[in-house]
């Protein structure tokens, strides 16, 4: 199980702050009751489990076979390049471009 601390603002904020000088960061403020309503942890855990694979999207792509152009960051630490290849894997003629 993921610790509740991993379901707050930290995980979503850290990647956007990586490499940004501290004096350029804008503080994020929100009322905790609004930002984290009842059931929030359960929703976040469900999203976290499917984050890398996204089964509903993969099924849609397999069933409908739309044109797929996946443009991914080669060094992306959240959406790894393998995820782009996996999403495009079930679609003929899908294109995957990894950018530096």
Question: 24 is in which domain, residue-wise?
Answer: 1-51
pLDDT at 33 over 60: no
> What pTM value is reported for the model?
0.51
| Orientation of helix 55-64 relative to helix 81-88, angle to 10° | 40
38 & 72 share domain: no
* Residue 18 to residues 25, 33, 40, 43, 74, Cα–Cα distance (Å): 10, 27, 25, 26, 16
Q: Which residue pairs from 33-37 have beta carbons closer than 8 angstroms and sit at least 24 positions apart in sequence?
A: 35/9, 36/8
At which of 10, 31, 51 does a domain end? 51
Give residue 94's pLDDT. Answer: 92
Q: State the average pLDDT over residues 72-85.
A: 85
pLDDT at 18 over 70: no
35 & 73 share domain: no
34 & 66 share domain: no
Calculate Rg over the CA atoms of the chain: 17
Mean pLDDT across the chain, nearest whole number? 75
- Tell me the pLDDT band of 1, cut-offs 50, 70 and 90: very low
């Amino acid at each position: 199980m993921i610790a509740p601390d991993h379901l707050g603002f930290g995980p979503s904020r850290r990647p956007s702050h990586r490499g940004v000088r501290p004096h350029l960061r804008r503080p994020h403020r929100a009322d905790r009751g609004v930002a984290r309503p009842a059931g929030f942890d359960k929703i976040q855990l469900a999203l976290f489990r499917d984050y890398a694979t996204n089964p509903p999207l993969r099924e849609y792509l397999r069933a409908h076979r739309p044109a797929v152009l996946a443009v991914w960051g080669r060094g992306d630490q959240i959406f790894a390049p393998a995820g782009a290849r996996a999403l495009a894997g079930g679609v003929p003629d899908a294109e995957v471009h990894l950018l530096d």
